[in-house]
Amino acid sequence: MNKNIRLFDLETKDYKETWDYQEKLFKEIVDLKLEKRNNPDIETPNYFIFVEHPHVYTLGKSGDMSNLLLSEKQLLEKGATFYKINRGGDITYHGPGQIVGYPILDLENFFTDIHKYLRFLEEVIILTLAEYNIIGTRSEGETGVWLDVGTPFARKICAMGVRASRWVTMHGFALNVNANLGYFDNIIPCGIKGKAVTSLNNELDVEKVNEEEVKDKIIKHFQNLFEAKILEKEIIL
């Protein structure tokens, strides 16, 4: 089992370009798995992508279009794009100041349990937030990481949505670090009414949090939880 993970940082990249890149890596792993049936010595690779997207709204395959509260004209006015995509979950927003992580893993190199995989992704973020003295928790029946669950002040700080086929994953998580939360007013986030969103800088009451520092913490916890070796970061422009 190959537990090495190549780490790519795409810096700022268009959502569709990144989606296409994910699909390319995803297909590469799936194709190798098919070859592996005849050649058991073949090792499948694993990838982890960091990226920041320009303003974009994405709707998962089980999502409801009515959760987007903007017309096509209003999207243009806000400088945002919109895509229906092939991950689970409903609608979410990506934009500047948000750390997006896309692990593209062959789970047969780690464990074959999608529920466990999602809980591990949540735990990575929970442990990262704990380093800033912020208590992140799960909300029953709602994927992602939340603060003050069970109170009138419940708010989401990290959204998640994944796709998996033949135990290969894609898509992932979006952690609000220095995000402009006003863009969330244009959707019903994840299709959940009456729940607020927040960001790390908002919770810490600072103007800006060092995003590279947050990425380093995410990678540390990801590596430990998945018992993986994350290789030196490669910048891909």
Annotated binding site: 87-94, 159-161, 172-174
Among candidate residues 60, 44, 140, the one with its CA nearest the CA of residue 94:
60
* Per-residue pLDDT tens listing for the chain (237 residues): 899 999 999 999 999 999 999 999 999 999 999 999 899 899 999 999 999 999 999 988 878 888 888 888 998 898 999 998 888 778 889 999 999 999 999 999 999 999 999 999 999 999 999 999 999 999 988 889 999 999 999 999 999 989 999 999 999 999 999 999 999 888 876 555 557 899 999 999 999 999 999 999 999 999 999 999 999 999 886
What token pair was written down for 189? 């986030």
Give me the residue label for tokens 């590469």. Answer: 28
* Per-residue pLDDT at 189: 62
* Per-residue pLDDT at 194: 57
How far is the C-alpha of 91 from the C-alpha of 68, rounded, in Å? 7
How far is the C-alpha of 65 from the C-alpha of 69, rounded, in Å? 9
Annotated binding site for substrate: 87-94, 159-161, 172-174
* Per-residue pLDDT at 167: 97
How far is the C-alpha of 154 from the C-alpha of 157, rounded, in Å? 10
Could you tell me the residue ranges of all domains in the chain? 4-235
Burial profile 80-92: b = 16 or more Cβ within 10 angstroms, e = fewer? bbbeebebbbbbb
Q: In the chain, what is the straight-line distance between the N-terminal and C-terminal CA atoms, in Å? A: 30
* Per-residue pLDDT at 156: 94
Among candidate residues 219, 117, 205, 208, the one with its CA nearest the CA of residue 160:
117
Active-site annotation holder among 51, 56, 168, 190: 190
* Per-residue pLDDT at 2: 96
pTM: 0.93
158 flagged as catalytic:
no
CATH level 3 topology of 4-235: BirA Bifunctional Protein; domain 2 (3.30.930)
Contact criterion met (CB below 8 Å) for 198 and 176: yes
Contact criterion met (CB below 8 Å) for 129 and 135: yes
How far is the C-alpha of 148 from the C-alpha of 146, rounded, in Å? 7
Backbone φ, ψ for residue 6 (5° rounding): -80, 130
